[in-house]
Structure 1
Amino acid sequence: MQSNSIVNTYRINKALLSVSVCICILVFQSGFNKLYSQDRIEIGGFVGASYYLGDLNPSKQFNNSSLALGGVGRYVIDDRYAVKGSLTMARLKGSYHENDIVFPEGNVEYSFDRPIGDAAIQLEFNFLSYDHWFDKNSNWTPYVSVGLGTTAYKRFGTEPENYSEETVFILSLPFGAGLKYKLNNRFRVGLEWSFRKTFVDDLDVVGHNLPINPNDPYGFGSNNGVHNNDWYSFAGVMVTYSMFKRKGQCNGGFKR
């Protein structure tokens, strides 16, 4: 039963990765084929909250939140598409309290607090025409984003002969939604809530000689098939500065 669950999870993760890559390729191609009105680069910063979702926190949003800080760069393809790169430093926290369940060996408690680094590149799709050269009222839009990323953290050995730690980089699938607003010709502000799907199950494991197994916190003797890979999330505010003026082609007598 457990092996079937692991195989099914692997297949689901592989399918999600394949779909995400295909979406990025198709939308990138569509966006670059219709490059006509904007050629603009934005740089700025992000400040918000980070939190963990996994075996020790299956569903509580913003539980044990920590401060997240980062930098953002955006290349505007046109009024509908943009490519965003981000670097974020954050902490992930989680805890298991003894009052959740009583173990035969007595009350136990476990918590973790792990710093991470996150790097991602995402394609943004605007639901409304945003900052279009011809429409002076296109100063806001909701949007969605999807892409690829990597997470850096220190992984701890759990075998008796290996208690050392090493920095590893793992694959993540970022996706989210937000709202952009153009303050003036140079500054933009945005609200975004995004998630990172990882393919590891040890973001909540710190050190060795653990009082409980985070992958089986209730001692049932089997891993949770739903949360056998850890997630984390960012929610916060972005402020960016547009560095370059528009460039474009002449079309029917109008210069874009």
Structure 2
Amino acid sequence: MFRLFSLCILIVFFASASTQAQFWFLGQNDKKAAPKNPFKAHSSFSFGAGSSTYLGDIAPAMTLMDVGGKTLRWNAGVQYTRHFKKNFSIQGSFTYIRLAADDNYFDPAGRFEPSYTRNLHFRTDMQELSLIGIYEILGNEENLPKRRTLSPYVYLGLSGVYFNPQARKPVTDLDANGNPIQKPFEDWQPQQTEGVDYSKITGAVPFGFGVRYKLNQSFDIGFDFGYRIALSDYLDDVSDNRTNVPLGLALYTNRELEPYSASTLAQRTGWVQSNNPPLIAKGSDQYFTTQIRLIYHLKNKIDCPPLPR
């Protein structure tokens, strides 16, 4: 009797559970998943300034620890960013960049003495237009007050660059006190120092990373590190070790015997010259920048329901 009673209890329990399950599934047939709110694109403007560093034939990457601090220059730019997706944005920017280097930054008695002997230098002011794609690592909130405190990102893009390498001609005069008189910077591309009429317009491939820190509802402060691979080897007006250049260009290519540095005005006497060739960088010129940015986020347009008629 007890076994029969227990069996009836089990049958009733499973039947009840099955009935509840059937009704639960029936109830779900008419239910639809709550629609997700689509991401609303929004924009931000920013201004930044920071440092720029050149890597090329006058300062190859292997010399960065020796003269990197001396070749450090500046840059400034503006950016407009459109945040299309939670993790994807597109940014257009204009950046003014100065690059420079000088063989006289090397130690005449150091391991890069052949570069010091060469005695070349340059300066170029570049205007760079860039279009890059940004991947927001942690996602980008469309609601400004809900922005993350820290927002890291990485990016890759393309740039158009106008550059104009300049240098100074050799010191030829002294003042009344016997000090060298420095010549002004001159455009170096028309000189065709290597017999090449290269273009002052080129491209570059920028990539890098950055992070934004939320200050308040509308403003962030950001840090950006960007590396560029130029599509030209003439940002510095140098593409080789200057051993095979046209005749008549010694004034610009063979500067070993100048008594003063045309750029720093340092006296270039009293060291033993090496017969080894100076270091040169293979491939196109490169440069990298850092920027501290102030970022302003534009408020989203509020979608209001239509007024009743």
TM-score (norm 2): 0.57
The count of aligned residue pairs is 208
AA partner of residue 148 (structure 2): S
Aligned match of 1:86: 93
AA partner of residue 237 (structure 1): I
Aligned match of 2:190: 157
Aligned match of 1:46: 48
2:221 pairs with 1:189:
yes
Give the C-alpha shift of residue 122 in structure 1.
0.5
Give the C-alpha shift of residue 189 in structure 1.
1.7
Secondary structure at the counterpart of residue 209 of structure 1? helix
Task: Pick the aligned partner of 1:77 from 72, 81, 84.
Answer: 84
Aligned match of 1:228: 283
Bigger proportion of residues as strand = 1
Distance 1:189 1:50 in 2: 19
Equivalent positions of 1:120-199 (< 5 A) are 120-133=130-143, 136=146, 138-154=148-164, 156-159=189-192, 168-199=200-231
Q: Alpha-carbon deviations, 1:130-162, whole Å to 9, x = none? A: 3353993623221100011111012603448x8
Secondary structure at the counterpart of residue 117 of structure 1? strand
Q: CA 1:117–1:35 in structure 2 vs 1: closer, same or farther (change >3 Å)?
A: farther
Give the C-alpha shift of residue 248 in structure 1.
7.6
Distance 2:142 2:219 in 1: 15
Q: CA 1:244–1:228 in structure 2 vs 1: closer, same or farther (change >3 Å)?
A: same
Distance 2:134 2:304 in 1: 24
2:272 pairs with 1:239:
no
Give the C-alpha shift of residue 108 in structure 1.
4.1
Q: CA 1:159–1:180 in structure 2 vs 1: closer, same or farther (change >3 Å)?
A: closer
Contact 1:45/1:72 (<8 A) preserved: yes
Which ranges of structure 1 fall in alignment gaps of 5 or more residues?
A: 1-33, 251-256
Give the C-alpha shift of residue 181 in structure 1.
1.9
Give the C-alpha shift of residue 167 in structure 1.
6.9
Contact 1:189/1:239 (<8 A) preserved: yes
Q: Alpha-carbon deviations, 1:163-221, whole Å to 9, x = none? A: 9x9973211101001111222221122101001111211111289713369xxxx9649
Give the C-alpha shift of residue 45 in structure 1.
0.6
AA partner of residue 162 (structure 2): A
2:233 pairs with 1:201:
yes
Contact 2:114/2:276 (<8 A) preserved: no
Equivalent positions of 1:11-26 (< 5 A) are none
Give the C-alpha shift of residue 246 in structure 1.
5.3
Bigger proportion of residues as helix = 2
Aligned match of 1:6: none
Percent identity of the aligned residues?
Answer: 19
The 10-residue stretch of structure 1 (51-60 or 135-144) with the greater mean CA deviation from structure 2? 135-144
The 10-residue stretch of structure 1 (120-129 or 166-175) with the greater mean CA deviation from structure 2? 166-175
Contact 1:38/1:246 (<8 A) preserved: no
Distance 1:146 1:237 in 2: 19
Give the C-alpha shift of residue 123 in structure 1.
0.6
Q: CA 1:219–1:75 in structure 2 vs 1: closer, same or farther (change >3 Å)?
A: farther
Distance 2:219 2:114 in 1: 54
AA partner of residue 288 (structure 2): S
Contact 2:144/2:218 (<8 A) preserved: no
2:211 pairs with 1:211:
no
Distance 1:168 1:94 in 2: 18
State which structure, 1 or 2, has the greater radius of gyration over its C-alpha atoms.
2
Aligned match of 2:271: none
Aligned match of 2:168: none
Q: CA 1:183–1:205 in structure 2 vs 1: closer, same or farther (change >3 Å)?
A: same
Contact 2:212/2:220 (<8 A) preserved: yes
RMSD: 3.6
Distance 2:156 2:304 in 1: 29
Give the C-alpha shift of residue 56 in structure 1.
2.0
Which ranges of structure 2 fall in alignment gaps of 5 or more residues?
A: 1-35, 166-188, 239-248, 257-274
